Amino acid sequence: MSSRLQAILWVRPRLRILNQLLLPHRREYVEINDCRAGHHAIASMQTRGAPAIAIVAALSLAAELCGLEFSSAAAAQAHICQQLAYLSTSRPTAVNLFDA
């Protein structure tokens, strides 16, 4: 791994985020495989800052979708909408964060 500090590492379908709770004493990355893990990382403030939160939310959904198959486009759309609604509850104080 490079000595350059990166907050978000994405190599499809793998998302890893820098656990910002441990900085500056330790550099540890957390694996995010699905929306539940993404929600936890955002809610527990392992990732901080509006741009990073939005990216982690989007990529946690992308990582989850990489492992799923749907019977129809409507089923995929319903799942995506449900997961986006769930992710939007991860940081209630971040007003308008998920409008983008």
Residues 22 and 74: their CA atoms lie apart, in Å, by 41
Q: Give yes or no for residue 17 having a pLDDT over 60.
A: yes
Instruction: Inform me whether the pLDDT recorded for 76 exceeds 90.
Output: yes
pTM for the whole structure = 0.88
How does residue 98 score in pLDDT terms, banded at 50, 70 and 90? low
Summarised one tens digit per residue, pLDDT across range 27-73 is 999 999 999 999 999 999 999 888 899 999 999 999 999 989 999 99
Using CA atoms, how far apart are residues 72 and 83, in angstroms rounded to an integer?
17
Residue 47 CB neighbours (<10 A): 25
pLDDT at 38: 97
Enumerate residues 6+ apart whose C-beta is below 8 A from 13: 62, 63, 66, 67
User: What is the chain's mean pLDDT, rounded?
Assistant: 91
